[in-house]
Amino acid sequence: MPLPSPILDDRSYAQLAAELKARIPVYNPEWTDHNASDPGITLLELFAFQAEGLLYRFNQVPEATYLEYLRLLQIPLRPAQPARALLAFSTELAAGVPLPRRTLAAAGKLEFTTLDEAHAWPISSVAVGRLRTELRPEDADGEVAEFIARTADALPAALAEASRLYYETRLLDPAAPGDVLDLSSAVDGMLWIAVLAERGFDKTAWDRDSGDGALIDIGFEPEMPTAALDDAQACPGLNAAAGAPQLLWQVSTPRPLTADGQPQWAALRMVADNTRGLGQGGTLRLELPRKSSDIGLPVADPDLAGAGDFPPTLDDDRQARLVCWLRVARRNGSRFGRIRLAAVNLARAEQARLAEPQYLGDGNGQPSQTFALTRKPVLPDIGHDTLLLEVEESSGWKRWARVDDFYGSQRESAHFTLDPESGLVCFGEGARGRVPLWGQRIRVRGHRWGGGAAGNVPAGAINKLPALATAKVSNPLPAVGGADAEAVEEALARIPGEFRRHDRAVTASDFQELARLTPGVQVGRAECLPRFHPRTRSTEAAGVVTVMVWPQNDPLHPDAPLPDAPLLRAVCTQLDARRLVTTELYVVAPVYRPVAVSVALQVKEGYGIEAVRRWVELVLRQYLAPLPPYGPAGQGWPLGRRVHGPELEAAALQVEGVEFLHDLTVAGWNGSAWVVGPVLLQAWEVPALSAVTVVDGLPLPAPGAELDPTPPEGLPLPFPVLRDVC
């Protein structure tokens, strides 16, 4: 919420003089002459003039006072957030290149470090799905019909009478930006990955005489769908995340076919998985068989390619480089949905570095000692990268514990606090938290630092490996999640809200403000709907709180941004830790009602028609936009507010160059047709401007209709022009 100007007493000279005169009958009833000629009135006016000057200086509260409020309330500035990306590695060494954790990669001057161990092999991959089709053999003709007939004739007798599921092979093209593979209609519920040989590949490099087999790393990035209100699920509660579905990974083998004529597949052991059963972006590691001879392609009749458990066919170039097939399915039978990326040789990375150990200084025995870290801002602890602070005591170096504040600390508690944004380490004052004694040395090691919005680099920008000359790197998808540290002005604006809610979500404004402050995600807007149950649309559901959130940006839907599942899950986690126990909490995506607008206007003389039309269209889009700083009041279009034509007319008339409007028509989509007239929205809806048409003069086009050229009176035919030949 915006912080008001620091006006402590805004009474003017006239108000002060009038107040003093009004008190005369109370304190001195005998004083009856209140005219300006009375000497007493002159004195009162003099006092009012002097008081106005004093109040003016009294109201000039410096910014330092507000900063002191932040310190007293212990409200630190929010630190920067690191951007994260999936890195794809390649090499030409047959034995591959091991990539230890915290391998350094760079995009220009921006440095990224890997979060997992990985091993790059001279291989590539392509993700494939076998998607159900409504076509039947009787619908095919020519070569397609002949191919289907040959496959049916080649089926073994054991499968000749089995029911047929026809599918189309769909490849996820890694070179096409924005390409998505939708596996919701896969006939087998599986994701197939073709492993292809690249320059320098030698399958015998996977051989192991003993111990574990070779490890292969797979990166995965789904396109997270946004659930509709009918599918909304209540937030599970703090530390109550649902279990991940179990995966079954298999690799193709050259073993003989089974008795029913199907290929044999070998199960793979999953060494690590941070994708939660391919439910979120991340990586996983698979252990291959120890003998490379157990990895290969099934040998069978070529007419059986793609039938049953046989892998699908690829184009000639990929088929010639095909090493083996990997496939995965969930044991519970659920589907994977839409996939943006599934490939080998990938590792997670973030724009962060691990700071070198630092000697902070010596204790002096004074309360509330502070020391500054050299590398800042400090990022949250992850895995083994934990900030370790040690103080040299008589028995040696002792580790002190990091706490949020000293309210729960005792006199002998070895505690310290840390401001991540400024990197300041603070110790207790003796009664709450121990004090480092005189001469005790203090050191720190292990903390992560970095972050910032600059880390949100586009795809392909991370292309340097400073410490590795035998491998190459690239990021197939853009890096996301980076955010700059909070500015002082933003922190000052948080003072009233922080003081009011005390990190608890009770009122509607508490839920909205805490949702916008969710760390690690970019929330552009949040609205709280008390007593609204999203699945039943009930607006009087006792104990239910629904929070609707918008992302700051959505490249796929710029006019109607939708949050993805990770953003909704992060807001759920943020609010679950702060809501009342009796609150049933839902975090949902916004619901849009398509709206179309048609405008017929008159352009002033001297103004370009096309420029004015573009400006009017831009103004209408911004006026109906759901995100700040647009909308009627700069906070996005309010939930449930109707879209009325005269209101949009007033917005369009603000464009310079518009003489007047001939007419403006608004229509809303009811699910089957456009309905002209004011668009009445439900309490949980906002408009999405799906079509806007601006013309100069009449006639006015129908809302939502495209402008087509006037058709000719006859059929246009080309007339040949004979050229002279020298």
272-298 pLDDT tens trace: 888 888 888 899 999 999 999 999 998
DSSP state of 121: -
Residue 465, pLDDT score: 92
Please write the tens of the pLDDT for every residue from 454-503. 898 998 999 999 988 899 999 999 998 888 887 777 777 777 777 777 77
Report the alpha-carbon distance of residue 264 to residue 437 in Å, rounded. 70
Query: Which residues neighbour 561 within 8 Å (Cβ) at sequence distance 6 or greater?
Result: 524, 550, 551, 552, 553, 554, 590, 626, 627
Report the alpha-carbon distance of residue 122 to residue 120 in Å, rounded. 7
Please write the tens of the pLDDT for every residue from 400-414. 999 888 888 898 999
**What is the spatial order of strands in the sheet that 396-402 belongs to?**
358-362, 441-445, 388-393, 396-402, 415-419, 424-427, 370-372
Residue 194, pLDDT score: 94
Please name the amino acid found at residue 713. Answer: E
What percent of the residues of the chain are helix, what percent strand, and what percent coil, each to the nearest 5? Answer: 20, 30, 50
Q: DSSP strand E in 173-321: where?
A: 181-182, 191-197, 215-222, 247-252, 265-267, 269-273, 282-287
Report the alpha-carbon distance of residue 548 to residue 572 in Å, rounded. 11
Token pair, residue 506, equals 């009770």
Query: Which residues neighbour 144 within 8 Å (Cβ) at sequence distance 6 or greater?
Result: none
Please write the tens of the pLDDT for every residue from 12-26. 889 989 988 998 988
DSSP 396-426: EEEEEEE-S-STT--TT--EEEEETTTTEEE
Please write the tens of the pLDDT for every residue from 294-303. 999 988 777 7
Find where tokens 């039943």 sit: 536
Q: Which CATH number applies to 352-450?
A: 2.60.40
Per-residue pLDDT band for 252 (boundaries 50, 70, 90) equals very high
Residue 159, pLDDT score: 62
- Cα 15 to its chain centre, rounded Å, is 53
Report the alpha-carbon distance of residue 446 to residue 357 in Å, rounded. 7
Long-range contacts of 176-181 (CB under 8 A, 24+ apart): 177/459, 178/556, 179/340, 180/223, 180/338, 180/339, 180/340, 181/127, 181/129, 181/338, 181/339, 181/342
Per-residue pLDDT band for 3 (boundaries 50, 70, 90) equals very low
Per-residue pLDDT band for 105 (boundaries 50, 70, 90) equals very high
Say yes or no to pLDDT of 307 above 90: no
Task: Say if pTM beats, i.e. exceeds, 0.75.
Answer: no
- Widest CA span in the chain: 122
Residue 227, pLDDT score: 61
Beta strand pairing call for 415-419 and 396-402: parallel
Report the alpha-carbon distance of residue 54 to residue 305 in Å, rounded. 91
Short-list 179, 164, 173, CA closest to 132: 164
Report the alpha-carbon distance of residue 244 to residue 280 in Å, rounded. 10
Bigger pLDDT: 488 or 365? 365
The mean of the pLDDT values for the chain is 84
Kindly state the percentage of the chain with pLDDT values over 70. 86
Please name the amino acid found at residue 84. Answer: R
Distances in Å between the alpha carbon of 81 and those of 294, 457, 480, 649, 666? 45, 14, 10, 42, 42
Residue 114, pLDDT score: 93
For residues 434 and 415, the answer to whether their CB atoms sit within 8 Å is: yes
Dihedral pair phi/psi, residue 318, rounded to 5°? -70, -40
What is the mean predicted confidence (pLDDT) over 313-330? 90
Per-residue pLDDT band for 97 (boundaries 50, 70, 90) equals very high
Say yes or no to pLDDT of 720 above 50: no
Dihedral pair phi/psi, residue 87, rounded to 5°? -105, 135
Please write the tens of the pLDDT for every residue from 133-160. 776 665 666 666 666 666 666 666 556 5
Please name the residue ranges forming H helices in 584-691.
Answer: 609-623, 645-652
Half-sphere exposure of 610 (CA within 13 A, CB side): 0
